[in-house]
Amino acid sequence: MSDQPSADNAEVRQRRVPDSPESLKAPERDDVRPTSDESDMDAVLQDEDRMERLTKAIPQDKGSLGEFADSMLEALPPRWRNWVVRGLFTVIMISTFTFIVNRGATWLMFLVFLIQFKCFQEIISIGLAVYRLYDFPWFRALSWYFLLTSNYFFFGESLIDYWGIVLKKDNFLHFLVAYHRLVSFALYCIGFVSFVLSLRKGYYMRQFSLFAWTHLTLLLIVSQSFFIIQNIFQGLIWFLAPVAMIICCDVMSYMFGFFFGKTPLIKLSPKKTWEGFIGGAFSTVIFGILLSLALYNRPFFVCPVEHYQIDSSNCTIPLAFQLQDYPVPRPFSFFFKILRKEPVIQLFPFVFHSIALSLFASILGPFGGFFASGFKRAFKIKDFGDVIPGHGGLMDRFDCQLLMGTFVMVYIHSFIRVPDASKLLKQIMTLEPQDQLNIFNLLQSELSKNGLL
């Protein structure tokens, strides 16, 4: 009985003993559980290291011109050496582009397809490296199959019509036009089934990720190249002017930034400066106006391709390229009254269209490049490839062109394009005789009501 209380008292005393200084010390770092933010940061750093290892296989531009040329430029500082290499290949690309433009629409379409294929290859190569699927040659072939299938879906009808005009055949490959959507869907189903059959255990997540990567790339590359070719059909100037504006903006932004750039523009592209951005925008607007003045009266550039192919010597100049009278608003009209002249100026509408296009090319167009810069930073690469010394891959040069081509297509459909009578007639001729007769009666009634008959 006597031992029990003493044990209890000892236990109580032990509980009441104040903590020693050693016990109040903070635990060692190894004993501290990392906070959520620290764990997230460690995971991010690990992911970045892993991504950098995976994308080492992607070729990067080193600005090399060969052993002989490199030895000649060896004495230059790296900044000026890059300027020389970049400038040299800019001149080469512009000269090649000028030659192809003068060859006509067919050559331009082949150029667009060549660029499309190369850009697709560069983006898919990144996906293959990231998801480590280089050991699946069948899967790589499947990505290219989807590229060909999507090209047929987007371009089938329009290109068959174009070649029918070029070859002067009315029903050129009529089956592929009449059942275009059915053939497209059948081709896609073959690819879809092939993908399902190619799935391997242990690789499901990678394969489905690259499947989504492939489709997103097709949406980005094929759809926008389709818009660009539609712009060519509307007239070569609707392709040439926007492309030239983007090139001008790119070159002049680089020049202004190189010599005057001090203020950073955006963190995604540390080399971009406000001085380069503003100088490139101003130069592009001036260049767009001068280019429109140089080309507005040349049928080779302004006429829709199908009209030009039918009769290049008898092409009706579209209204956007015909001189029109514009009244001078007040107070500027006061100066005309002093000179005893009518307050009217003559301009062709494409001057205003070129200003709109050049503003988009210089203000919003660069964001296509910023988007590409963010994409490359996400995968720890500097360039999409090394096909163009001083520039990188083709995707590095055409990131802004894709966005610009889409805008031009939207602009044409919103403000320029009118229904094509020949195509409407073709559609009417595919109807049943009774429907054709109904259309004829309705048209006759409307024309009579408007006093045209």
> What is the separation of C-alpha 423 from the centre of its chain, rounded to a whole number of angstroms?
29
- 37 burial (CB, 10 Å; 0-12 / 13-18 / 19+) is exposed
Q: What is the pLDDT of residues 47-58, one digit of tens each?
A: 667 666 767 778
Q: How far is CA 236 from the centre of its chain?
A: 19
Angle between helices 237-260 and 204-234 (to 10 degrees): 110
Condensed to tens digits (0 to 9), the pLDDT of residues 201-240 reads 888 888 899 899 999 999 989 999 999 999 998 999 999 9
Buried (b) or exposed (e) across 225-251, using 16+ Cβ within 10 A? bbbbbbbbbbbbbbbbbbbbbbbbbbb
- pLDDT surpasses 80 at 157: no
In the predicted model, what is the mean pLDDT of the chain? 82
Q: Is the predicted pLDDT of residue 277 greater than 90, yes or no?
A: yes
CA 295 to chain centre: 25
In this prediction, residue 71 carries a pLDDT of 72
pLDDT band at 190 (very low <50, low <70, confident <90, very high): very high
Q: Which of 140-144, 176-180, 284-288 has the lowest mean pLDDT?
A: 176-180
Average pLDDT, integer, range 72-85: 79
> Which range is least confidently modeled, 91-95, 116-120, 249-253, 334-338?
334-338
- As a whole-number percent, the residues of the chain with pLDDT over 90 amount to 34
- What pLDDT sits at residue 43? 56
Does the pLDDT value for residue 11 go beyond 60?
A: no
On the question of pLDDT at 312 being above 80, the answer is no
pLDDT at residue 242 tops 50: yes
Cβ–Cβ under 8 Å, residues 234 and 302: no
For residues 330 and 327, what is the distance between their CA atoms, to the nearest angstrom? 9
Residue 23 predicted with pLDDT over 50 = no
- Output the pLDDT for position 281: 95
**Residue found under tokens 């925008």:** 281
Query: Which of 66-75, 87-96, 113-122, 290-299 has the least mean pLDDT?
Result: 66-75
Instruction: Report, as an integer, the average pLDDT of 352-373.
Output: 93
pLDDT recorded at residue 108: 93
Highest mean pLDDT among 26-35, 132-141, 361-370: 361-370
pTM of the model as a whole: 0.80
Stretch 399-428: mean pLDDT: 85
